[in-house]
Chains A and B, each alone.
Chain A
């Protein structure tokens, strides 16, 4: 069998519920409302975020695993869900003090947190759904 492409993608889905507000502190309320509309509501709004973590690598010859999914699940819970679930992304996390919590920025933060904890020889990509109809991917 030709094993020149033996890579397999494995996926883990998780979800978290959070409040946020899209807001540029350098702008006044009017300008924020002009650019971000109702997403800049000062009293926040929220979403059910769905996250799909994709890990690509060659299955280990001894285990048959690209990555043990229990380990991926644990890392995701510790690094993401415990920090983001039922939180206010602007107020309760350290990551968005000076960064607008758009889906784009959230997915990059999530990627960074996971990347540090996953074997560098495995490729990693994160897809984040803010709603069923709006989602982002990183890296691309």
Chain B
């Protein structure tokens, strides 16, 4: 079993805001992250799949194909977007890095070829803050 990781990135605006709360409560909990005019990040996404290298190619999975899947199903929908407004699969969800990584898993997992398993997503919001998700 070998783990293969592909790194992609996207730049996006967002806001942490719970519409069920007053503005004061949002400010209390989310601080400057609740700024009504948004702020933004350079996100880095690490996608790890696991499998046995194919005897004919030596690949767990063609890394270019993995990159294409991530672009088609994830980064093209997120890059240079407002995560709260522009992204259908984040509609109605709190725009935290935690919720975003789970939503990205749901977008990507159905498209991963049967010969490998999606093992882990690691999503950096800043170079100092990241989350990991293993699908459970």
Contact = CB atoms under 8 A, between A and B. Distances in A.
B51 interface: no
Given A41-B80, A131-B9, 20 more contacts: A17-B39, A17-B41, A19-B13, A19-B39, A37-B80, A38-B79, A38-B80, A41-B81, A41-B86, A43-B13, A43-B85, A45-B11, A45-B81, A46-B14, A46-B39, A48-B40, A48-B42, A88-B35, A88-B37, A131-B11
Interface residues of A, number: 23
Interface in B1-43: 9, 11-14, 32-33, 35, 37-42
Q: Which of B12, B42, B81 has the most CB of A within 10 A?
A: B42
B32 to A, nearest CB: 4
B106 interface: no
Q: Which of B35, B79, B80, B127 has the most CB of A within 10 A?
A: B80
Given A44-B13, A46-B11, A46-B12, A91 B41 contact: no
B67 interface: no
A87 B42 contact: no
Interface in A15-47: 15, 17-20, 37-39, 41, 43-47
Nearest to A21: B13
12 contacts: A17-B40, A18-B40, A19-B82, A38-B80, A41-B81, A43-B13, A45-B80, A46-B14, A46-B40, A48-B42, A87-B37, A131-B11
B126 interface: yes
Interface of A: 15, 17-20, 37-39, 41, 43-48, 85-88, 91-92, 131-132
Contacts of B40: 17-20, 44-48
A72 B38 CA distance: 28
B20 to A, nearest CB: 22
Nearest to B33: A86
Interface residues of B, number: 22
B82 A47 contact: no
Nearest to A45: B80
A47 B42 contact: yes
Contacts of A38: 79-80
Contacts of A37: 80
Contacts of A43: 13, 81-82, 85-86
B39 A87 contact: yes
Nearest to B31: A86
B84 to A, nearest CB: 8
Contacts of A20: 40
B11 A92 contact: no
Nearest to A43: B82
